[in-house]
Amino acid sequence: MNQGRLKDKVAIITGGSKGIGKATATKMVKEGASVALLDILAQEVSRTADELKAMGGKALGINADITHKEQVAQAVEQTLAQFGRVDILVNNAGIVKPAMLEDVQDGDWDEVVNVNLKGTFFCTRAVLAAMKKNRYGKIINIGSRASLGKELRTVYGATKAALIGVTRTWALELAQYNINVNYIGPGPIATELFLAANPMESPRTKAIIAGIPLKRVGQPEDVANLVSFLASDESSFITGQAVFICGGLTVGLVHY
Ligand code: NAP
């Protein structure tokens, strides 16, 4: 531990208790970072933090809802008190409420926008003072390939497309402070949630895989590797970019 390309860095990862967030936290700990995990799931977040500590990593599990700015501010304070700085923010927490346009419930619209978009805004705004003070920061927004269009994803796709917009704006505004802001758009990733809805051997999963040029779904570690690169100094000349990590799925979506 603490020998890799994130040596001595401190990362906050939202939704860090499972799935892509947990894989990212694990990778970052292996790369030498201290990690603060923010998650709405109290037991899971402390269990994941304990697992990371058992690996020899420095980890803090914080039970917080990113849609509440007071809880976000408190979580950032707790991270600063424990680790002294914040270098990296991974805006990973996100929710989806699948529905065709006519079936979208007003309440679901608000909930998804609140978590995916407003929560990302709250978390980013809350870490800015710490990053500006050190004239250093890496902000990575986890979007989705659904930002380019996907059935049943009216609200979700809207929020994930909007994150590309805020990524580009924040990259421009924050470049003067040496803060890089980038966006990652995963395609199907075999998280617990994905596998519960799409068992590996099901006809549905086989059809999904058939449509992916690389003929597999992604693993959480595939995304974690890219997050880790964008969080490191190896990506210091990259900002305001959207990278889709989806086995080539989005390539076929773009027709000229
Ligand atoms: P996941 O397994 O559901 O993990 C996300 C975590 O964030 C969960 O623990 C979740 O708790 C938590 N969370 C939800 N709302 C929160 C809030 N308001 N405050 C704090 N934490 C909250 O998700 P994942 O599949 O790893 O996905 C991670 C990110 O990648 C998401 O932004 C997702 O949109 C994006 N993504 C995933 C895929 C995929 O195939 N898995 C594809 C494209 C994009 P709950 O379980 O209670 O909601």
- Residue 175 Cα to ligand 1 midpoint, Å, equals 28
Ligand 1 nearest-atom number relative to CA 23:
26
Shortest-distance atom of ligand 1 to CA 188: 40
pLDDT for res 140: 99
Residue 141, phi-psi category: left (phi > 0), alpha (psi -120 to 50), beta (remainder): beta
Q: Which of the residues in the chain have pLDDT under 50?
A: none
pLDDT at 66: 99
Query: What pLDDT score was predicted for residue 193?
Result: 79
Phi, psi of 198 (to 5 degrees): -135, 75
Q: Which atom of ligand 1 is nearest to the CA of 44?
A: 9
pTM value is 0.97
Nearest to 16 by CA among 134, 191, 188: 191
- The C-alpha atoms of residue 83 and residue 33 are separated, in whole angstroms, by 10
Q: How far is the CA of 140 from the centre of ligand 1 (A)?
A: 15
Pocket, ligand 1, Cβ cutoff 6 A? 14-15, 17-21, 38-41, 65-67, 92-95, 115, 119, 142, 144, 186, 188-189, 191, 193-194
Pocket-testing residue among 22, 24, 37, 41, ligand 1, by greatest number of atoms within 8 A of Cβ: 41
Please tell me which residue in 156, 177, 183, 256 is annotated as part of the active site.
156
What pLDDT does 252 receive? 73
- Which contiguous run of DSSP H or E holds residue 159? helix 154-174
Q: Is 156 a catalytic residue?
A: yes
22, 90, 95: which to mutate for ligand 1, most atoms within 8 A of CB? 95
Q: Is 77 helix (H, G, I), strand (E, B) or coil?
A: helix
Return the pLDDT at 248: 96
109-125 pLDDT, tens digit each: 999 999 999 999 999 99
Q: What is the pLDDT of residues 170-210, one digit of tens each?
A: 999 999 999 999 999 999 999 987 888 888 999 999 999 99
At 63, phi and psi to the nearest 5?
-85, 110
Catalogue all structural domains in the chain, each as residue range(s) with its CATH number.
10-245 (3.40.50.720)
In the reported structure, the alpha carbon of residue 8 is separated from the centroid of ligand 1 by a whole-number distance in angstroms of 27
Give 215's Cβ-side CA count (13 Å radius).
Answer: 0
Question: What is the per-residue pLDDT for 254?
Answer: 56
- Tokens 């990593």, residue located: 57
Three-state DSSP at 118 gives helix
Residue 88 DSSP SS3: strand
